Amino acid sequence: MISVSDALRIISEEAKPIGKEKREILLCNGLVLAEDILSKDSLPPFDKSAMDGYAVRSSDTEGITAENPRGFKVKGVIKAGQWCTESINRGEAFKIMTGAPIPLEADCVIEVEKVQAKDDTVYLYNEVKKDNHVIKFGEEIQPGDIVLKKGTEIRPAEIGLFASLGYRTVETYKPPVVGLIITGDELVDIDDAIGKGKIRNSNEYAITSMIRSLGLEVVSFGIVKDDKDVLKKVIEEALLRTDIVITSGGASAGDYDFVETILKEIGADIKFDSVAIKPGKPISFAVFNDKLFFSLPGNPLSAITTFEQFIEPACKKVLGKQEYMKEEISVILGEDFKVRKGRVKLLYVKIVKENDKYYAYKIGSQSSNKLTTISKANGVLIVPEEYTEMKAGETIQGRFIFR
Ligand code: AMP
Ligand code: MG
């Protein structure tokens, strides 16, 4: 049995990107750039107006005050998308729309709300400074600029940037495909009759959702019987067809828990076979032909906890993310808590924000087979091994779940 921090360290040593691929930009949200994005153009590609108003020469506005307004002859209107070849002379203005190019010789824009227009004359009541409401050519981006660096996480803003720079595809780290194998003779699917001694398979659905929340594709191998040869074949197939393999159940020391034996038989490199954490002690991690293999305990609460704690960071690291660890926060206990000594405990709680501080409250039983426990919680407290009693008001590390 190893510590949580050792387990995380070992996983992060093994988890790395599995390759790169060109993808259509709309399929890149949540992925990570595997190339620098250079600009071929200037942005904006011309001096443009940031306002609906009038383009004038700033020098023509010197000395204008509310008491001493001045009229400018309006030569025409420039719409966004139009290219104006006419320049303005002294005492002239162009009406101009947001996004339209600034006409030659003009160097500023006064917003429409600050002027009075009458027939073909516009009256200004104040001086206007050079570059007022002008977005300058190349102000944001110059040709040859590295606009986004390799390693940048792609969010909707980056996707907008790709489009504005003329990229229809970009190179990202390849998202791993995750294989999911559910074991247990007691399991039936949602629509099947529940016979004596049987329960519904919930882990397949909960874990699939967690994998999909990371933006990853899941290949489900369904429910596999507790039969060593059958399970071995499925595990071998999953290791061929997918990049990260997760099994649920069969992880402990029971007579029908075969996962570890199978891993040994196929020659997988078992990195650890249990972690000092509660719930979730029987989690194991192995590497086979550069594929990552996680065996999760079958208890629904243990499976979800260990997925969040260990597999989520691994998937994020494989995706190329630099910040792949779960974010921890300081939480103040809203009431007294008692726990048993030994192992790091992840205590499911309700975390409430009050006056910019986080407070934790109990949600009931922590029994490791109760999905309803997690359903009531929005976070966990990370209770160190030696802790037994914790008093209201004490501060402890915690984190939110499912986010
Ligand atoms: P195991 O890790 O296989 O020993 O299973 C531990 C407990 O979790 C047992 O009570 C199982 O019935 C239950 N369990 C195992 N797999 C699932 C599953 N896919 N869905 C719901 N409960 C499960
Ligand atoms: Mg089992």
CB of residue 98 inside a 6 A radius of ligand 1: no
pLDDT of residue 370: 81
Q: 108 in a domain, yes or no?
A: yes
Find the CATH number of the domain harbouring 349. Answer: 2.40.340.10
Find the CATH number of the domain harbouring 89. Answer: 2.170.190.11
User: Which residue, 318, 349, 384, sits at the end of a domain?
Assistant: 318
Q: Residue 10: phi, psi to the nearest 5?
A: -65, -45
Q: 104 in a domain, yes or no?
A: yes
CB of residue 163 inside a 6 A radius of ligand 1: no
Q: 241 in a domain, yes or no?
A: yes
Q: 357 in a domain, yes or no?
A: yes
CB of residue 53 inside a 6 A radius of ligand 1: no
Measured CA to CA, the distance from residue 197 to residue 194 in angstroms comes to 8
Domain match, 94 and 115 both = yes
pLDDT of residue 134: 98
Neighbour count for residue 242 (Cβ, 10 Å): 21
Ligand 1 mutation pick, 246, 248, 283, 368, max ligand atoms within 8 A of CB: 248
Cβ–Cβ under 8 Å, residues 291 and 244: yes
User: Which residue, 318, 343, 376, sits at the end of a domain?
Assistant: 318
Domain match, 234 and 258 both = yes
Domain match, 267 and 209 both = yes
- Those residues of the chain that have pLDDT short of 70 are 365-369
Q: 296 in a domain, yes or no?
A: yes
Give 297 Cα–ligand 1 centroid separation in angstroms.
7
What would the pLDDT profile of 239-274 be if each residue is shown by its tens digit? 999 999 999 999 988 998 999 999 999 999 999 999
Give 224 Cα–ligand 1 centroid separation in angstroms.
12
The number of folded domains in the chain is: 4
Domain match, 250 and 280 both = yes
What would the pLDDT profile of 26-46 be if each residue is shown by its tens digit? 999 999 999 999 999 999 999
Residue 357 is part of which domain span?
Answer: 329-400
What would the pLDDT profile of 352-366 be if each residue is shown by its tens digit? 999 999 999 999 766
Q: 224 in a domain, yes or no?
A: yes
Ligand nearest to the CA of 205: 1
Domain match, 75 and 123 both = yes
Domain match, 239 and 350 both = no
Q: Which residues of 75-113 are buried (b: 16+ CB within 10 A; e: fewer)?
A: beebeeeeebeeebeeebbbbbbbbbbbbeebbbbbbee
CB of residue 380 inside a 6 A radius of ligand 1: no
Give 226 Cα–ligand 1 centroid separation in angstroms.
12
Tokens linked to 388: 């037994």
Domain match, 238 and 336 both = no
